[in-house]
Structure 1
Amino acid sequence: MQEPGPHMAVPGHNSEANSWDGGKHEADTAVEEAINLELENSSYLRGWRLHLASLSTCLCLFLVNSEVSVVGTALVSVVKDLDGIDQMGWVITGYLITYTSMIIIWAKLSDIFGRKYTAIATVLIFTAFSGACGAAQTMNQMIISRVFQGIGAAGCWSVPLTIGYEMVPKHRHPIQGAQFMTAGALGSLAGPLIGGSTSQSGQWRWAFLFCVPLGVATIILLQLALPASFPHQGDPQYQHPTWRERISRKSLSRLDVSGAFLLLGGTMLIVAVLLEGGLSIAWSSGPAIALFVVSGVMWIAFLGNEWFFTKHERTLEPIFPWRFMHNKPWMGTLIFSFLSGIPYNILIINVPQRYQDVAGTSPLTAAIRLIPFNIFISVTGFVVNGFIAKRGVACVWILLVGSLLQVGGLAWFCVLPEDGTIPLMIYGAQILTGLGIGAVMGITLLMPPLVVEKRDTAISSGALLQFRALGGVLGLSITTTAFNNYLKTHLFIFDSLSTSDMLKAVQSARDFSPEIQHQIITRLAEAYNLQMKILIGFSALQIFVIAMIWRKGNQIRVVDAEEEKAASSSASNASGTTIATEADRGAGKLG
């Protein structure tokens, strides 16, 4: 505490009585304001708890993003060792189905069972089945382990993001968001490098096993850092429930079981058909059409379920309350999250594959070539969250600039040569696109607390991430289908083969004669450029979605510079007056 100096007026030393009374009244008011401010901020973490909580949540995001991308460079070695080339697609599909389906469900569970224990449970599941993936002896074991790993990964994203919103006051959200962006980008950067290096040395199991010690450390940090009653630990009226109360009928009746079932089923079915359509399932086949129809029915039923339980307020708490549909800025944020997930997910797969298929580089070298993309996503997210948004720049302007940068970077990818060479200009395209994606992802990460009610903090963070994951899956399906169809219609030497057999033949292009090799490599380069043209369309759509977030009056800002300055000044004045009052009371006792 600052000691009162000669420059600080101490109430009680004024010679006029009326001044004394006025000063005493002002001091008492300031003391009350200071106490209210302290009570208001007491729910936030401070000191070592804050540092450990920040580290643990960032580790969660790092682990999930690394595992999403690690398989891309390790999968070939996994399939060869476990002798399961016919099932290789399900190593990725199984993970993505559960990961995409469970994000918002975990977020809602944290409302009922508490942030701390839900976060620990998700990390425990993720860590245990990461170890199971590393120990798998058959492809079936690997696929099952990946399915459960995806369940844990979904919660490792949504629950820590909610904790990040709640452990610091609003004016510190930009710094927290910058840390999250950096952790996520570093995970996406480390995944391909770890997968490439371990598979190249014949030690692919470490692509999964490295998560085990980091996961255990994360659980310990969460246990130490988060109070059991987080985020209500500063509320004197909050009664911390026992575990018996948490699993009581009254508590469980808050669960939107029907909504969770419909969301889980609808998402799993649509993700499965999108990822396997054209490969193990023909688009026009009966199973594919049935999956589309059933998924569509479940999505419609899910929306009806959420509308009914939101309109008829009961104990049950909807997973996606209908009030979201009437919140235009929030729906615009969700669409932005959906669209931004498309180029990101495609590029972290497209760029390394382009290097391996077209230039013939090793998996590790291909992963290294992706470094500029991930680095600039991280740097831009940090700058946008930590500096630009913190200075009160309107969110719509950041989204607009980020969308335009994305379009420019993807257009640059489209003009890459199709003769089998990859020039240095690809790094410029990576940097420009990374700048745009980093800006959009960084600001959308901070939007939920700005446009939704406080009671919806958890489910809004889950919805934001679930929309991003769904966008990534849809984009992957569309671009992969376009890629495969282009090769199928332009590589006439393989037109009699099925799609999966054609892709296997393309992977062995180096075994053909020079003429055939040149034809395959040229068509591959053209197909990769076609994917970039599709991505331009999705990124351009973001520019039109800005109209949903635009406001005629004051624009949405992460931090209002004037309000923050006034709040800081008020807190400082209140603190100073409190000290002066205490000094005055002490002087009175001495007198």
Structure 2
Amino acid sequence: MSDLPTFDPPEPPKEPPKTSEFEDRVPDGLLSGWRLRSVTLSISLTLFLVNIEVSIVATSLVAIVDDLEGFNRVGWVVTSYLVTYTSLMIIWAKFSNALGRKTSMFCAVFLFAAFSGGCGGAQSMNQLIISRAFQGVGAAGCISVGFTIAYEMVAIHDYPKYAAIMTSLSALGSLVGPLIGGALSENASWRWIFLINVPAALLVCLLVLLSIPNGFPYHKQDNVSGNHQRSSQLTSPKSLDVLGAFLLLTASMLLVTALLEAGVTFEWRSAPTIVLFIISGLLWIAFVLQEFRLSKVKHTATEPIFPWDFITNKAWMGTLLLSMLSGAPYIVTMIDIPQRFETMGVGAFGAGARLIPFNLLIALGAVAVNIVAGKSKIPPIVLLTFGVICQLVGVCLLSTLDSSTSIPNAIYGYQVLTGLGIGVMFGLCVVLPPAVTKTKDLALCGGAVVQFRILGAALGLAVASTVWNNYVSSQFEQLLSSYQSSLVMKTTSAVFLLPEPQKQRVIEVLVHSYSLRMKVLIGFTAAQVIGLGMLWKRPQITFPRNETELVEGMDMPGKSG
């Protein structure tokens, strides 16, 4: 018996060595080849369309009002879009966990296309406002789900490169929006500012259907296991926090409505404004309590919309704060620069063209900072500090422009500084979430970053507009009749209908009011230092340059901020 051969049991196969702890946190569903190029094109085109829509309408409002005869509701042409666009990003992101990325992206782009057509065919202001609201619903999903797919389609060391591509397309949309809007309003029908979205968005729908795999980003796991069931990484529709989604949506919509309309449609101290703020505040408290309850209850299938771990994650909260505060100088400067030039007699198209340095540097800044972050080991906090300094210097210089006879050429240099700083913030904030949160929450993070940015824009615009309105109203009482004052407050072109002595004095008031509005941004920009402090840690957060490098300072599962 001793001569019989013996066989040792085969050793179990060894697992391939891990290149980093981050590997455990990402789905094995990275894209390559034609799929990667096609998905990148579809997301970039979507970001371009959504961002162009934010700015293109502003230069066409006069033509819209002249055609549809609804001047008393013109503010809602912009507001209805912003309210739904701002309020639904986090909800879209969370729902994409249950419905799947491909289905959610297709539905969002199709909604945007359908109601863009509805806006172009509107026969009344009410129809246009309703269509704009639903167009904003689709736009929110395009941004939120689009960024989520971008996080999941490439490895972490490629994030800066793809963020540079997508943020540059977003900024390009903001760059050409005023130009296209001004050109169409002067030379064609305003309806084309909406109708041009339809064929482009339908092309994106086709690209989404063809290029995004079914079950993405867990399609490879499903294929290996031999079944095509929903991955366990995706949540069941029954686990959705419907109550939390309702509270978040309602609270956000009421808050944004109050911020955008206070001082414009309603007085700040009026009953409608106070009621909106009170109800919104109560709903926010209820939302926080709901999320705390779901996060702390161990035996529940319902997943919170905004996990409580996010609140205790200092780095993630700092990222959201930076995103929110950088939204204010962006939107206020976008409005301020063209208004300055229109006050000096420049037409809508010419005023939009003079905004090119600002938007161009946002695009270049977003691209450059992601190239630097991807190719070097410079910690993001250093680059973000540079962005804050550029913003602060830029808005301080813009606030010094107080000449009522001409606008100095130095304004273009001030735009370059401000735009570069904002571009740095926009470019980095969209790639920071994977470095400071858990991968399973990326869908939520992508929507939250942009939603907070737009919320900050609404807050900054509300505060700046209130300062502007209060100063201008008090000065006009001494200079103009109530009829003249109402005309000038509605459109700056009415200034040139005034007799010469009055016209020059009114221009002086308007120019000084623009400087006051820019001074508001100094506070918003300086407050970004708080966000920088929340991101400070040792070792600092850095992005890996290749698959073998660790992400220094990254929060791993089970850790908070």
Q: What's 1:145 paired with?
A: 131
Encode CA deviations 1:11-30: one digit per residue, 9 max, x unaligned: xxxxxxxxxxxxxx9xx979
The change in CA–CA distance for 1:490 and 1:217 in structure 2 (over 3 A counts) is same
Q: What's 2:311 paired with?
A: 325
CA contact (8 A) 1:489 1:495 kept: no
Match of 1:127 among 110, 113, 118: 113
The letter of the residue matching 1:69 is S
CA contact (8 A) 2:28 2:217 kept: no
Report the Cα distance in structure 1 between the residues aligned to 2:481 and 2:320, rounded to whole angstroms.
Answer: 41
SS of the equivalent of 2:404 reads: coil
The change in CA–CA distance for 1:110 and 1:565 in structure 2 (over 3 A counts) is closer
Say whether 1:371 aligns with 2:365.
no
- Tell me by how many angstroms 1:141 deviates: 0.9
The change in CA–CA distance for 1:45 and 1:500 in structure 2 (over 3 A counts) is farther
- Tell me by how many angstroms 1:563 deviates: 4.2
Q: What's 2:515 paired with?
A: 529
- Tell me by how many angstroms 1:502 deviates: 5.2
Q: What's 2:255 paired with?
A: 270
The CA RMSD measured in Å over matched residues stands at 2.7
Structure ID, larger Rg = 1
- Tell me by how many angstroms 1:157 deviates: 0.5
Report the Cα distance in structure 1 between the residues aligned to 2:337 and 2:30, rounded to whole angstroms.
Answer: 42
Report the Cα distance in structure 2 between the residues aligned to 1:495 and 1:390, rounded to whole angstroms.
Answer: 61
Say whether 1:209 aligns with 2:190.
no
CA contact (8 A) 1:406 1:433 kept: yes
Report the Cα distance in structure 1 between the residues aligned to 2:544 and 2:17, rounded to whole angstroms.
Answer: 26
The change in CA–CA distance for 1:308 and 1:442 in structure 2 (over 3 A counts) is same
The change in CA–CA distance for 1:565 and 1:130 in structure 2 (over 3 A counts) is same
Report the Cα distance in structure 2 between the residues aligned to 1:519 and 1:241, rounded to whole angstroms.
Answer: 71
- Tell me by how many angstroms 1:240 deviates: 3.7
- Tell me by how many angstroms 1:202 deviates: 3.5
Q: What's 2:376 paired with?
A: 391
Encode CA deviations 1:126-153: one digit per residue, 9 max, x unaligned: 0111111111111111111101001101
Match of 2:236 among 241, 248, 251: 251
- Tell me by how many angstroms 1:45 deviates: 0.2
CA contact (8 A) 2:27 2:218 kept: no
Q: What's 1:316 paired with?
A: 302
Q: What's 2:29 paired with?
A: 43
- Tell me by how many angstroms 1:548 deviates: 0.6
Say whether 1:175 aligns with 2:161.
yes
Encode CA deviations 1:247-303: one digit per residue, 9 max, x unaligned: 9xx932211111111111111111111111122212212111111100000001111
- Tell me by how many angstroms 1:418 deviates: 2.4
Report the Cα distance in structure 2 between the residues aligned to 1:118 and 1:562, rounded to whole angstroms.
Answer: 30
Identity rate of aligned residues, in percent?
43
Q: What's 1:457 paired with?
A: 442
Query: Which structure 2 segments of 5+ residues have no match?
Result: 1-10, 552-561
- Tell me by how many angstroms 1:496 deviates: 4.4
The change in CA–CA distance for 1:503 and 1:398 in structure 2 (over 3 A counts) is same
Report the Cα distance in structure 1 between the residues aligned to 2:304 and 2:185, rounded to whole angstroms.
Answer: 44
Which has the larger helix fraction?
1
The letter of the residue matching 2:251 is G
CA contact (8 A) 1:171 1:390 kept: no
- Tell me by how many angstroms 1:506 deviates: 4.7
Q: What's 1:469 paired with?
A: 454
Match of 1:305 among 280, 290, 307: 290
- Tell me by how many angstroms 1:365 deviates: 0.8
CA contact (8 A) 1:488 1:494 kept: no
Question: TM-score when scaled to structure 1?
Answer: 0.86
Q: What's 2:208 paired with?
A: 222
CA contact (8 A) 2:87 2:249 kept: yes
Report the Cα distance in structure 2 between the residues aligned to 1:334 and 1:239, rounded to whole angstroms.
Answer: 39
Report the Cα distance in structure 2 between the residues aligned to 1:112 and 1:220, rounded to whole angstroms.
Answer: 22
- Tell me by how many angstroms 1:191 deviates: 1.1
Q: What's 1:555 paired with?
A: 540
Report the Cα distance in structure 2 between the residues aligned to 1:41 and 1:163, rounded to whole angstroms.
Answer: 12
Say whether 1:439 aligns with 2:424.
yes
Query: Which structure 1 segments of 5+ residues have no match?
Result: 1-24, 567-591
Encode CA deviations 1:429-474: one digit per residue, 9 max, x unaligned: 1000011111111111111000001111101111111111110001
Report the Cα distance in structure 1 between the residues aligned to 2:486 and 2:200, rounded to whole angstroms.
Answer: 36
The change in CA–CA distance for 1:233 and 1:279 in structure 2 (over 3 A counts) is same
- Tell me by how many angstroms 1:565 deviates: 9.7
Q: What's 2:558 paired with?
A: none
Say whether 1:98 aligns with 2:84.
yes
Mean Cα displacement is larger for which, 231-240 or 454-463? Answer: 231-240
SS of the equivalent of 1:43 reads: coil
Match of 1:113 among 82, 90, 99: 99
CA contact (8 A) 1:446 1:558 kept: no
The change in CA–CA distance for 1:317 and 1:505 in structure 2 (over 3 A counts) is closer
SS of the equivalent of 1:136 reads: coil
SS of the equivalent of 2:239 reads: coil
Say whether 1:404 aligns with 2:389.
yes
Mean Cα displacement is larger for which, 492-501 or 370-379? Answer: 492-501
Encode CA deviations 1:499-541: one digit per residue, 9 max, x unaligned: 8555137541111101111111111111111111110111111
Give the aligned length: 534
Report the Cα distance in structure 2 between the residues aligned to 1:420 and 1:311, rounded to whole angstroms.
Answer: 62
Q: What's 2:467 paired with?
A: 482
Report the Cα distance in structure 2 between the residues aligned to 1:279 and 1:100, rounded to whole angstroms.
Answer: 19
The letter of the residue matching 1:394 is P
Encode CA deviations 1:160-191: one digit per residue, 9 max, x unaligned: 00000000001100101101111100110121
Q: What's 1:585 paired with?
A: none
Report the Cα distance in structure 2 between the residues aligned to 1:93 and 1:180, rounded to whole angstroms.
Answer: 26
Report the Cα distance in structure 2 between the residues aligned to 1:33 and 1:555, rounded to whole angstroms.
Answer: 22
Encode CA deviations 1:485-510: one digit per residue, 9 max, x unaligned: 11011222347469855513754111
Report the Cα distance in structure 2 between the residues aligned to 1:561 and 1:233, rounded to whole angstroms.
Answer: 24
The letter of the residue matching 1:452 is T
Question: TM-score when scaled to structure 2?
Answer: 0.90
- Tell me by how many angstroms 1:319 deviates: 0.9
The change in CA–CA distance for 1:562 and 1:264 in structure 2 (over 3 A counts) is closer
